[in-house]
Structure 1
């Protein structure tokens, strides 16, 4: 049933992010990548899955315009996975590879799932320049994949007064804060 839903979503969302079940080798001249968690990072909170943070799409597009390959990695529950490609497209996020949990093992340990995805990307030659997330499991995965503190950025969840614990360079209150820092 899940395969049918994923296929249906892929057919309905031609041109949107690719549902990536396989890993492709990075091209020699284009291996730079940026990783984005979705829920709580591109959305205001982990549960506001139909909303988008202000300037999130513009920030992802900023990286795409600079030649980075975009990877979206999310542990969203299967019931709501099918709508992610359409959500990305309708909110003007650039095309990227989308990695979703595929089984109960992935869903039982989000950090392990994301670490596995990141390590596979690295094994296939991708150089992850930046990684963005909002949860401790994101930061645990980024650290386990040997990303340095300077490569990792935390997003403050709406309604919170501090970012989730983890190793990150900066706790961003908004995507506009990041854009203003890189484009003064």
Structure 2
């Protein structure tokens, strides 16, 4: 009996983690008007301090995502997280104050192997539905590769430096920040310029 009870906390933790382990990606709808704008956010290492810290949140990450949501951008959460840990993403976002958005995760072994191809495929589907991917945030080279594949210019790609690392990972990005608070003023200016561009079109 003692052996069984000694393992109970481990089994309980696994049960909590695996509660609805896999997550079904949100459907991708037609843009409400042509050229509606969306902004894409990786989660692990971008909204969290590093890829392995999936229960932690970067300071000011939620408020910065809200900045885009409040300016009318659709929010896309695009994560390559393993199936076993996908189920906790919606509650983690809600509990940490992130705005509503569409969540997309790998749904096949192929998606789980080639993260850049998976993310590019999802973003291409948005583009085919009339959405313009206005900006992308990430921490990994596969994020930046995916953004480049869908035509996002480096000037609209923002890299987050992982906790414990000395620099951002390589890729087609123009800006590297070690925290969300460090880029707040820059992003406010970026949004103003992007909104002016939208007005002039």
Could you say which TM-score interval applies, normalised by the shorter chain? 0.7 to 0.9
Match of 1:181 in 2: 186
Per the normalisation by structure 2, the TM-score is 0.81
Matching residue within 98, 102, 108 for 1:97: 102
Tell me if the contact between 1:39 and 1:49 (Cα under 8 Å) persists in the aligned partners: yes
Post-superposition shift, 1:182? 3.5
Instruction: Report the CA distance between 1:169 and its aligned residue.
Output: 1.2
Query: What is the match of residue 5 of structure 1?
Result: 20
User: Aligned in 2, Cα 1:134/1:177: closer, same or farther, shift over 3 Å?
Assistant: same
Contact kept, 8 Å, 2:34 with 2:130, in 1: the verdict is no
Give the Cα separation in 1 of the matches to 2:188 and 2:82: 35
RMSD of aligned alpha carbons: 1.8
Q: Which residue of 1 aligns with 2:45?
A: 40
1:29/1:143 Cα in 2 relative to 1: closer, same or farther (>3 Å)? closer
Corresponding residue number in structure 2 for 1:138: 143
Q: TM-score, normalised by structure 1?
A: 0.88
Offset of 1:20 from its aligned partner?
3.5
The count of residues paired between Structure 1 and Structure 2 equals: 171
Answer with 1 or 2: which has the greater Rg: 2
The structure carrying a bigger helix percent of its residues is: 2
Q: Can you give the 5+ residue segments of structure 2 that lack an aligned partner in the other structure?
A: 1-18, 190-201
- Tell me if the contact between 2:50 and 2:163 (Cα under 8 Å) persists in the aligned partners: yes
Q: Whole-Å Cα distance in 2 between the matches of residues 171 and 123 of structure 1? A: 29
